[in-house]
Every structure is written in C-alpha cells, then in structure tokens.
Structure 1
Amino acid sequence: MVVFKRLIRPVLAAGLGLALTAGMAVQPAAAAPASSAADRAASSYAALKKYFGTSNGLLLEQYPNATTNNPYSYVWPYSQATIGALNLAGIPGRGYAYDAEAKARIAGYAPYWNAGTTPPGYDSYVRPPLGQGGDKFYDDNEWIGLSLIQNFKSTGNRASLARAAQTFQLVTHGWDTDTTHPCAGGVFWTQAPWSQDRNTVSNGPGAELGLHLYLLTGKKSYLDWAKRMYDWANGCLLAPNGLYWDHIDLAGTIEKTQWSYNQGVMLGASTLLYVATHDPKYLRSARSIASAALAFYQSGKGFTGQPAEFNSIFFKNLLILDAVHPDPSYRAAMAGYADQVWTTYRDPATGLFHFDPTQPVTLLQQGSMVQTYALLAWPRAAYLKLA
C-alpha cells in the first residue's frame, strides 16, 4: 500500500532600519566564537549519525524509532539533515572533512525520486524496493532543489543543477490555474487529495529556487515565475503586521499562524529579487520583514517557541540578507538562539536535542540544529553560497 502519511508539523499558538526595534523583551546575545560553533555542529552531526544512521546510508525518522513502522525517514527530515551536512562541508578550514558525507547525503535523495510521474519529482517517502513511496509535496521538492543549488555552488556538480531545474518544473506544475478560486494562483502545498491549501512555504522557497536558477543560468522564465510566486504570497498572505500567514484554502479561509520559516523564505526571496533586479524596493522589503520578525519572535517565548526546523530556515535566509546588507544584529540573534538551545535542550550524554522530553528525538530537529551551528562558523563572505 502506498505510504501517504507525512510528518505532521507541530501546531503552536500562533520598519526599516539597521537596528532592531528598541525595547524588545529579549536582546540578542553576542555571537559565539566560530570555533565553538564548528565544534557544536560537528558534535551534533556525530550524534545524528550515531542515533539515526542505517546500514544503507539512509536515516531514521526519529530516535528511538520503535513507535513508527517506517524503517527510514520521510524526505522532508532527510533533506534537512542533508543541508546540515552541506553546511558542515562549507566551514572554512575544516569542512573538507565532511565533503564525502555531503556527497553521500545528496546521493541519498535517489530512493525518493519518482521518474514515473509527469513531471517527475521526489516522493515524500522512499520508493520500491525500500518503501512504497508517498505523496509529493511541493515544499519538499523546493527544499531539495535549494540543497542541490547549494551543492552546485560548492562543488560545481552540474548534475545537481540539472536536477534542481527538474524540481522547479514540478513546482510550476503545482500552480493553481483555476481563476474561480479565492486568491487565484499560488503553488499548492501538496498533490495529495486531502489538501488543497496554497501556502507561503510552497511559494516563498519556490520563488527562491527560481531566482537561484535565474542567477545561475540567465533564463528569464525563472525570474518571471519567481516574481509570480512572490507577488501571489504578498497579495494573499501578507498580514498587517508585516509578517506572513501560513496558508489559504479553497474556501478562502486563511490560517493565520505566523511561523518563523514563512518569514525566512519571504525575506530570502526579497533579498534574491534585489540581487537579480537591483530594484531597491526588494531590499527594503527584506529588511522590513527581518525587523518585524526579529521583534515578533524575540518577545514572549522567543525563538524557542517556534520549531527548530522552522528557525534554521529563518536564520539561513537572514544570513543571506546579511551578506547583501550587513547588520550585526542578525547574526547576534541567531547566536543567542543557538546558545539557548545548546544549554537548555541538548543532552550532553548523547548530543541529541530534546525539545519535548515526552517524545522521541526527531531527525528533523537534530538536522536543523546541525545547520544552525554550522552556519555560525561561516564567514559573512560565504553566505551567498547558501540556497
């Protein structure tokens, strides 16, 4: 029987300028030394390999894995572990030790690839003979496509670039063409029949993927599609507070939770649009989203009130903005969050992050923290290698 189950994302309660908004409840901590960040990334990835590794190079969904019938992880957590390995490989002076690991993680996408559909793309679960495949999620394919772009930028592997272009074809296939729908247009979240939502997170990273492809190839169709996705999200899911809601369904109902990764992909898309077009309105937009997001998430529970996998995406995009328009507060906010997680949620005996002690540790969150610590060991000059 085809596997249709997908990891359910946790449900939580839901100005321009260089400086952060004054008077925020939590001020960013000073950035940790790069060597400390690199050590933390290496330790976190070693724990990932020890507790989530399998004999064939794929990864487990969680540890312990006894509560799931699946012997391997879904592709969404696998993609985030892969990005963690890519980020480790990018650390100056020591990343070379992870080159083979990053290559192996990229190769591990192959069992998820479904060449038998039109257009082809990555299923949510491994395909026969290892598993029974699963529904395609457009955001899954976008995360993978972005990781392939990062791999191409780092290694020059043209097969990665070609496969990233294939995933973008799938993304554009997911565009809503029914003009009778409320807020017509937008990329759907999934091909699964049980959801007809169009999400910020199926359009923002789609725009980013298109922009990277445009910047690498010069093909204007990529830029046109990226603008189309970006404009749809701004027209349909931008809230009055300058942040983005989650999704809209076909009844026109908007789910108004403001997840950190939604802000990340839209500020990242804004930044890349500025790089691609040199239009200052896009840079103003990116800075505005960053300022509003930092003020919003650094109040109350802070970033630890958001899932770690969402924060890693937000902070990566914040660093991309930092490369284009440097602001020390961006990295400082990231470092403050990373320090808090290290001291509060990490088990020193195993190196695993227990965000909920009543639940198994997930590959998704372990891989996300690898990403965060590794990027804190990167210099600003390298941030535009990210995707």
Structure 2
Amino acid sequence: MNRMKNLFTLLTLLLWTLVACSNDSAADEKPGSGGTDIPAGNLPMQNVARAIELIDNAVECYFTGTGMAMSRYYNPYTGNRSSELGSVWMYTSSIEAVNAAMKAMKTGQAKGETALYDSHFNRYKELLTQLYDNLEYYAGTFTLTSYTQTKQWTVYGVNRGNDKGAAQVEGILNVYDDQMWLVRELLESYHITGEQRYLEKAEYLMEYVLDGWDCTLDEQGNPLGGITWGPGYLTKHSCSNGPIVSPLVWLHEIYKGKSDEVTYGYVAADNSRKLRTEKKSDYYLGFAKAVYDWQKKYLLRPDGVYDDMMGGYDSPDIKYVTIDGERYRTGSKLRDRVGPAITYNSGTMLSGAAALLS
C-alpha cells in the first residue's frame, strides 16, 4: 500500500514539474511540443511530445550530479529537492518513462512521423544509458542460501549506496519485485535499442528471481510454489509474483524456435537437490504459467481481484535443512490469504494473462 501511495505522490509531483521546472527557453516553446514543431491536430504526436517535455523537466528537477542521484521529493514552490533519495523502485520508473517515450518515437518514425524521433531519440538513448550506468549505485553483492543452492549474487537493493556496487542488499534490503520491474524495463530497452547487454542483465536478474521460487514439496509431492517478497521474508505477495509473468512470456518469445538452453535446480521426490536442463523457451513459458497459476490459486478473491499476500506462518524465522552435507532453505507453508486488495496487484495479473494469451 505504501508503494501505491508513493507512486501517486511521485506522479503528482512530476506533473507539477511541468510548470515549476520550466526554464525560460522552454517557456517560449509551444505547450507539449517537446521543443519540436508538431502539426496542429496531430494528437498522438502531441501526446508523445508532452511526455518528452514532462520527462525532461522531471530529470531537471529530481536528478542531481554526474551520478544522477534521484531525490525522493521535489517542492515546486521552493525549488528544493529532498535530501532523502528515491528507492530503486522509484528510480526504475524513470527508466520506464524513457523507454515508453523512445518506443513511441520509434512507432511514430515507422508511420512516417519522424520529427520527434529525429530530434530526441538519440538524446534519449544516451539518457537511458546514463540511467542504467547510475543504477549501479543501487547494486550490491551478497551470498544467498536458497531452496536449491548457495550462490553469490549482484542485485539491486531498496536504497542507493554511496558508490557503485556498494549498496546494502542482504536480507530484507533487497526484494524480488524490485528486480522484476527492472527485468521488465531491461527487456523493453533490449527491444527498443537491440543492445545485447540489456537482455543479458534481464536474464541474470530473472535467474535470481526464479531462484526465489519455492520449489520445496508439500505432502503430495507438489512444489509449494510462490515467490516470497524477498530472500529475507517468509510471506509470498501478489507484488512479488504477478509482475514477473509478462516478462517470462517475453523471454519465451525471444527464444522461441531457438536451441538455447538453461540449467536450474529443483527438489526431487526424495527431497534431494537435482539439476535439470531444458530449452530456454520452454523454461520461461513453464515458469510464467506456474507463477500465474500459483497466484490465481492462492490470492484470487471471490470478487475477482487479488489480495495482497499469503501469510500465517508458524515461525517468523527462515529455517534451513542440511541434505547430503549441503544447507538449503526450507519452504514457507503459509495458511492465510491476507488483504487488502490493491489495484496494482490485479493489474499485473491482467498483464500476465494478456501476455500468456498472445
């Protein structure tokens, strides 16, 4: 719920910056022009130009320094930024905005509307590069013991660190849904720019997220399923499952018809840990269906929307088991579907359903 309130606040403040952050040169331009002449009556391109103007002003108001530190709040009346910095979830929203504008510019160019593309695309491509480069202030490295392995990961913490790669990410200081939203945007950036590095980072973070899938078995020998909010949590949330369904389908589509393979761990019937290799296209689509089915089974309410999480654990502590001399995390057997129902959580499942049906 706090995240939805933060998003509403952020969007409201971004709208205020359209006027509050405009400099003298911007004030001389036509409203919504993005600095580019748009023929009267061309509403789609006027909307894109307005988005460009909004993004430019938001970058000017919220970001400071060569490291592009993002202030959590901006006061349009005083022109002051808060010393408190935005979380990685907020920072990712800026990448999403730039992706959306670039995608719209490419769509316009394909339809013969080249003005905005010619004026802004390369500039936004460079802005996108800067945003990703400075995303590394949120990056940190830690060792995680999961359901099938112990491995060192470099992922993104909730809070920005003092230097690139120096963020705190242990335990509850990183959450899976933050990585999910980055995967979504990395795949968008890959499709827009064709740069392989975005796809590679998306797959790395996807591997980390799916390492959080509870593949331990219930009494009938079926995987418990569900992804906890983060590696330091027991509860399994709508927000840490629904957002990954669509990008799993997108990865399936990228590798469909190709021979690329992936090897991953799973829990066998005798509770031992095994490795399985399969084609990436099948792997990603299989997980998309599994995550979607888990959330629908456990969190869908009778009125057709999704509750917030599964809770009701017996102990608040994460527990481990040693098998064949190796330590593994045990599964979270949760009893209670807990509200409230939040629009955000139903929206990601609609997105996932649309992707699975496409």
> What TM-score, normalized by structure 1, do the two folds share?
0.58
The answer to whether residue 354 in structure 2 is matched with residue 271 in structure 1 is yes
What's 1:80 paired with? 93
Question: Aligned residues: percent identity?
Answer: 21
- Equivalent residue in structure 2 for 1:40, among 22, 34, 50: 50
Query: Aligned ranges for residues 1-387 of structure 1 at < 5 Å?
Result: 9-10=4-5, 33-56=43-66, 57-64=68-75, 70=84, 72-91=85-104, 92=108, 93=114, 94-95=116-117, 96=121, 97-117=123-143, 118-129=152-163, 132-134=167-169, 135-179=173-217, 184-192=224-232, 195-218=233-256, 219=280, 220-251=282-313, 252-275=335-358
Structure 2 distance, partners of 1:41, 1:185, is: 40
Contact 1:121 1:166 in 2 (8 A): no
Alignment CA distance shift 1:67-1:87 (3 Å): closer
Q: 1:8 to 1:149 in 2, by over 3 A?
A: closer
Instruction: Calculate the aligned-residue CA RMSD, in Å.
Output: 2.8
Amino acid of the residue matched to residue 303 of structure 2? N
1:291-310 Cα offsets, whole Å, 9 max, x none, are xxxxxxxxxxxxxxxxxxxx
Query: Which has the higher mean CA deviation after the structures are superposed, 242-251 or 124-133?
Result: 124-133
One-letter amino acid matched to 2:298: C
Equivalent residues, number: 246
**1:270 to partner: Cα distance:** 1.1
TM-superposed CA distance for 1:214, in Å, is 1.2
Q: Which structure's residues are more often helix, by fraction?
A: 1
CA deviations on 1:172-213 (whole Å, 9 max, x unpaired) are 1112245569x9320111223xx4221122111222222111
Q: 1:269 to 1:124 in 2, by over 3 A?
A: same
- The offset of 1:98, in angstroms, is 2.1
Find the residue that maps to 2:231 and give its secondary structure: coil
Higher strand share: 2
> Is 2:139–2:167's contact at 8 Å kept on the other side of the alignment?
no
Tell me the CA shift for residue 127 of structure 1: 3.3
**Stretches of 4+ aligned residues off by more than 3 angstroms:** 7-11, 64-70, 177-181
Change (3 A) 1:124 1:33: same
Contact 1:125 1:133 in 2 (8 A): yes
Confirm or deny: 8 A CA contact 1:238 1:245 kept in the other structure. Answer: yes
Give the deviation of 1:120 after TM superposition. 3.0
For 2:80 and 2:218, the matched residues in 1 are separated by 46
Distance 1:78 1:67 in 2: 15
The Cα offsets for residues 133-168 of structure 1, whole Å up to 9 and x where unpaired, read as 241110100000110000000111111001100111
Cα distance in 2 between the residues matched to 1:273 and 1:150 = 17
